[in-house]
Amino acid sequence: MPDKPLTRLRRQRRRVIARLAKLEPLAASYRDKLARIEARIQELDPQLWMPPRHYRPNPVFARGELPRIAMSIMREEGAPLATITIAMRALAQKGVTRPGPGLRGLIRIRLTQTLGKWAKRGIVRRVGRNKGTRSVLAVGETTAR
């Protein structure tokens, strides 16, 4: 009697999980080797420019969309907001009401990087310290991009 499609898929899933478990240590060792090689290159020639690695695109937001949405959220609020609050509101605007921890973390990190760049340019101010840090738009920001 032939297997049902669901049974075949479940077996295939188990095989893929086993292969991933086997290959994850190998990937980790390659990351370690890459870090050692790059450190050695920088040790020999600190002036040498190393091209950045390609990172995967944002799964929810198009290019430049997250900063635009974050800016509008901060304008509407007018008060200091935590990065995770801005991230969750931005995800809600895109229709993602219950993001998983991986997606939440990814968006929070990218938003933290954007807010850091804006802080250097004087677009936002940081209020508080450590986990109590909030970001608020600087006075007269409306023309800044």
Q: What would the pLDDT profile of 99-136 be if each residue is shown by its tens digit?
A: 999 999 999 999 999 999 999 999 999 888 888 888 89
Q: Which two tokens stand for residue 30?
A: 């390659």
CA distance 75 to 142: 9
On whether both 78 and 46 belong to a single domain, the answer is no
Q: What would the pLDDT profile of 19-61 be if each residue is shown by its tens digit?
A: 999 999 999 999 999 999 999 999 999 898 888 877 778 889 9
- 139 inside domain: yes
For position 55, what pLDDT does the model report? 74
- 17, amino acid identity: I
Helix, strand, coil tally for the chain in percent (to 5): 65, 5, 30
On whether both 43 and 109 belong to a single domain, the answer is no
Q: What would the pLDDT profile of 53-67 be if each residue is shown by its tens digit?
A: 777 788 899 989 999
Domain boundary among 52, 74, 95: 52
Q: What would the pLDDT profile of 63-99 be if each residue is shown by its tens digit?
A: 899 999 999 999 998 899 999 999 999 999 999 989 9
Run of H or E residues at 17? helix 5-44
- 60 inside domain: no
The residue range of the domain holding 101 is 65-143
On whether both 81 and 134 belong to a single domain, the answer is yes
Count of structural domains, the chain: 2
